[in-house]
Structure formats: structure tokens, C-alpha cells
């Protein structure tokens, strides 16, 4: 892998201003990209425990630890579907509930009991 990180590079189009438990929803470029990443650990030298522990909460999610966007590769093919944000396409290989928590109702219905029990 020549990229330092690979992710699903989707546009966040939800328009939500409040997230789970009433927290303010931050809108920024690359929103939800970090919810599924493949990292080239041999090349991610700036993504250290110290960086994660001392940076602002959004810095790692905005990929500030990379040398530039050209270091981000793309994961294609149905991975990291944003439930209730994106139109469902087949196949959906991984679902990400960015607007709802465990047991909450969403357009696809509540999370299956087996998922809730495993949490």
C-alpha cells in the first residue's frame, strides 16, 4: 500500500446539527472517513499515542497527521455505509450508525438483538 491510510471517502450530507445524547454535531471535510480506516503502520509515523492523546478531538479525524490528502487511499465497494445518511446500495458490507446509538430507531429499524447483546 503506497497510501498511509485508506478509507471510504464519502461526502457527509446529513445536515444534522445535533448528534447522539444531544451533543453538537461538528461539520467538517472528511466527516466519517476515520470511522473505517486501513493504516499502513510502517508509514504512519506521525500518528503516535502522544499525538492522539494531546491533539484536539477532531485533529486525528481530519487527518492532520498526514503529509497531505495525496497520502489517503480509497476503499471502494460497499464498505462503511452510513445508515440513514446514504442511499442503501448493494452490497452493504459494513454499516455505520452515525446518527443513532444502540437500540435507537432508524430507517433500517433498530439494531438486531444479537448486535445489542454483543455490545
Domain limits at 8? 1-119
The CA distance from 32 to 80, in Å, is 9
What integer best gives the mean pLDDT of the chain? 82
Confidence (pTM): 0.75
**Does 90 score more than 70 pLDDT?**
yes
Residue 63: pLDDT band by 50, 70, 90 thresholds? very high
- Rounded to 5 degrees, what are φ and ψ at 82? -85, 105
Rounded to 10 degrees, the C-alpha dihedral 26/27/32/35 comes to -20
- Euclidean distance between CA atoms 48 and 1, whole angstroms: 20
pLDDT at residue 111 in the model: 57
Higher pLDDT, 111 or 18: 18
Amino acid at each position: 500500500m503506497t497510501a498511509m491510510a485508506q478509507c471510504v471517502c464519502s461526502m457527509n450530507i446529513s445536515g444534522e446539527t445535533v448528534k447522539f445524547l444531544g451533543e453538537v454535531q461538528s461539520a467538517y471535510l472528511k466527516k466519517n472517513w476515520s470511522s473505517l480506516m486501513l493504516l499502513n503502520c510502517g508509514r504512519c509515523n506521525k500518528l503516535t499515542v502522544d499525538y492522539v492523546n494531546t491533539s484536539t478531538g477532531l485533529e486525528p479525524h481530519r487527518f492532520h497527521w498526514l503529509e497531505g490528502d495525496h497520502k489517503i487511499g480509497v476503499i471502494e465497494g460497499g464498505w462503511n455505509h452510513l445508515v440513514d445518511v446514504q442511499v442503501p446500495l448493494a452490497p452493504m458490507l459494513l454499516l455505520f450508525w452515525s446518527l443513532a446509538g444502540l437500540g435507537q430507531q432508524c430507517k433500517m429499524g433498530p439494531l438486531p438483538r444479537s448486535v445489542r447483546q454483543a455490545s
